[in-house]
A and B are shown apart, each in its own frame.
Chain A
Amino acid sequence: MIAFLSNMNIDPIKMFFKEEKTYFSGYNQYLIDLINEDSVLYTDEIETVVLFLDGEEFLKRITYELPTSEVCESATAVLNDLFTVIRKYIEKKKNVTFLINNFVLPPDNFITYLDFNTNTSFSEIEVLLNKEIKEFSQQYSNMLVLDWQRIVKNYGYANLHDDKFWYLGRIKLNNKAFSVLKEEIANLINSFRGRAKKVLVLDLDNTLWGGIIGEEGINGIKLSEDGIGKAYRDFQNIISALKKIGVLLAINSKNNEEDVKEVFEKHPMMILNYDDFIVKKVNWNNKVQNMTEIAEELNLGLDSFVFIDDNHVERQIIKDNLPEVIVPVFPEDAVQLKDWMMKDIVYKYFPKVSLTKEDREKTEQYKANVKRIELSKELNLDEFIKSLNIKLTLHINPADLVQRIAQMSQKTNQFNMTTKRYTENDIEQFMRSDDAMLFAIEYEDNFGKEGIIGMSVIRTEKDRACIDSFLMSCRVIGRNVEYVFLYKILEVLGKNDIRKIEAEFIPTKKNVVAKHFYRNAGLNMLDNDVYELTVEELMNRLENKLLIHEITVSG
């Protein structure tokens, strides 16, 4: 049970503590409750005491006095009387976590500019009292300061206080104040009870830097000292600093490891080192499997994990399959990264109330213990893909998409079977030609439209067809869209009396992810990376991969 003591009415905070049992001492009854051993505070039910004092109310006798050194001394004396009472209580109740706030006096007072320009002032009194509160609290291992000053700095005094409620019912704070106060108390208790998270798992592309390394290359990604690249650099700085308070870092990213290593080793603006990450899963496996492996290797429960990824589908797949992992929503605009990281992640999931030598050396310790375990956990990915409600549109020789198709042909590096580059002019030629066909695929799911995400050029000769180009944006890989796209192409070819299909994979430095696509689709390999099969048989073999049913054909 949490007990709340105050010199105001803070009962409305109960609206935010629905889950916990709470006790509210009467308005201004805190001294009596702390002294009286028959009060609820002395029962075994109480786990936490929150003493939240309004500074102005606490010092009301001197608010309209000139803040002379005598006044200052009398303020300290009142505080020391309070300490005597608290001391008696915590020495008796050593198992109770005791929170006390620091004071924030109203920003305006009658001595106006004297307040900052003399040594005996209200702001000086505030500093002095808060120093005493801090020193008093540090004497007891079960006592913590609730940093009300920080909260007021964040949101502003006027945005948290409302005199109307004070006059109506001795409530000084407004709804916003109660909600942030609740958060702060919960974070402190979690931290104190050792319930903070331990591992921060990060995606890479559009998370640690702007853009996609596999597509844009080391010189194309956004990471710099000015412009939006600076936002990613600041973000990396925070992550790097978290190591110092004992947070373990890991990577879970769909990428080619060589591309990623190149960034870590050669990009001049990188803050983080590859070795800062205790476990690195950079591959094309699904992220659920990677996440499970990270947990096994660290021998830590998934309930101590926080996963940061810009891609909502990847986040959803983790949430659905590993509900213990915390998966926060990623900010829409990289500008917000720093503020979001501090407020929504660090304070919330990695709060610290004490720092040990072990914390500082944690990464090194764990590194020695990382177990290498091979796992192949069966996951129900099919169910997940179905739940996305993917809608595809197949475009055949679409004259209005020439520009986008040419652009994809020029830019796509990873899931690209042949990496042949075509201009707009080339694409138009294919569309007009009698012995070629052009296909494009458009994607939409529960989360929104992705637009045209794949294209293919098929060359035909009598009853044979050859896949000249087949490429797809990596954003949608792993959701079977590539197989459905191939199947729909075959369907069209079949109707055009094509019997046999031939295909080739041309390896490059960047298209490792696509290497086994034709084999996995069911094509027979004739020679190294050269495949063929009848259209009919290939369609049969693809049947079990068709998890997406809503497909429109246009053109």
Chain B
Amino acid sequence: MDNTRCVANFIEVVSQALDVAPESITLETKRKDFSEWDSLGHIKIFLAIEGAFGVHFSMKEIEEIDSLNKIFKRVIENSNVMKT
């Protein structure tokens, strides 16, 4: 899967989790700048990402990660789904 489609897939999953339009977020979106990304939204993002791409995050990572870019990097590194 090429990079553009990976990103689109990823954005789709996150937007579904936050229940917002895919156009309203990008990889540059940061937690502090986005009001829907509250503490419950934060958990929903990781629930959805783990479910969709089979990647597992540690509790520490979940607590520390604050941008979509960082989540995306981890997904790319660890997921077979995104590589194929």
Where chain A touches its partner, the secondary structure class is helix
A178 and B59 contact, Cβ closer than 8 Å, known pairs A11-B40, A15-B19: no
- Determine whether the beta carbon of B16 is less than 8 Å from that of A15: yes
Which of the four size classes fits the interface of chain B? 10 to 19
Q: Is A171 an interface residue (CB 8 A)?
A: yes
Tell me which residues across on chain A come within 8 A of B40, comparing CB atoms: 9, 11, 169
Mark each residue of chain A from 14 to 30: 1 if its CB lies under 8 Å from any CB of chain B, else 0: 11001000000000000
The distance from the CB of B30 to the nearest CB of chain A, in whole angstroms, is 19
Tell me which residues across on chain A come within 8 A of B62, comparing CB atoms: 164, 168
Contact of A171 among B47, B51, B57 (CB under 8 A): B47
Q: Is A137 an interface residue (CB 8 A)?
A: no
- Determine whether the beta carbon of B19 is less than 8 Å from that of A12: no
Tell me which residues across on chain A come within 8 A of B16, comparing CB atoms: 15
Tell me which residues across on chain B come within 8 A of A12, comparing CB atoms: 43-44, 47
Q: Is B48 an interface residue (CB 8 A)?
A: yes
The distance from the CB of B74 to the nearest CB of chain A, in whole angstroms, is 15
- Determine whether the beta carbon of B59 is less than 8 Å from that of A15: no
Q: Is A447 an interface residue (CB 8 A)?
A: no
- Determine whether the beta carbon of A175 is less than 8 Å from that of B19: no
The distance from the CB of B36 to the nearest CB of chain A, in whole angstroms, is 13
Contact of B43 among A18, A171, A179 (CB under 8 A): A171
Mark each residue of chain B from 56 to 78: 1 if its CB lies under 8 Å from any CB of chain A, else 0: 01110011000000000000000
- Determine whether the beta carbon of A175 is less than 8 Å from that of B48: yes
Contact of B63 among A165, A168, A174 (CB under 8 A): A168
Tell me which residues across on chain B come within 8 A of A178, comparing CB atoms: 47
Mark each residue of chain B from 25 to 63: 1 if its CB lies under 8 Å from any CB of chain A, else 0: 000000000000001100110111011100001110011
A175 and B43 contact, Cβ closer than 8 Å, known pairs A15-B19, A164-B62, A168-B62: no
Q: Is B17 an interface residue (CB 8 A)?
A: yes
- Determine whether the beta carbon of B43 is less than 8 Å from that of A174: no
- Determine whether the beta carbon of A174 is less than 8 Å from that of B19: no
Q: Is A449 an interface residue (CB 8 A)?
A: no
Tell me which residues across on chain B come within 8 A of A11, comparing CB atoms: 40, 44
Inter-chain CA distance A171–B44, complex, in Å, is 10
- Determine whether the beta carbon of B59 is less than 8 Å from that of A164: yes
Mark each residue of chain A from 161 to 173: 1 if its CB lies under 8 Å from any CB of chain B, else 0: 0001101110100
CB<8 Å pairs between A and B, sample of 15: A9-B40, A11-B40, A12-B43, A12-B44, A12-B47, A15-B19, A165-B46, A168-B59, A168-B63, A169-B40, A171-B47, A174-B47, A174-B51, A176-B51, A178-B47
The 6 closest A-B pairs by CB, nearest first: A175-B51, A169-B43, A164-B59, A175-B47, A12-B44, A12-B47
Q: Besides the contacts A15-B44, A164-B58, A179-B51, what 14 more A-B pairs have beta carbons closer than 8 Å?
A: A9-B40, A12-B43, A12-B44, A15-B19, A164-B62, A165-B43, A167-B59, A168-B62, A169-B39, A169-B43, A171-B47, A174-B47, A174-B51, A178-B47
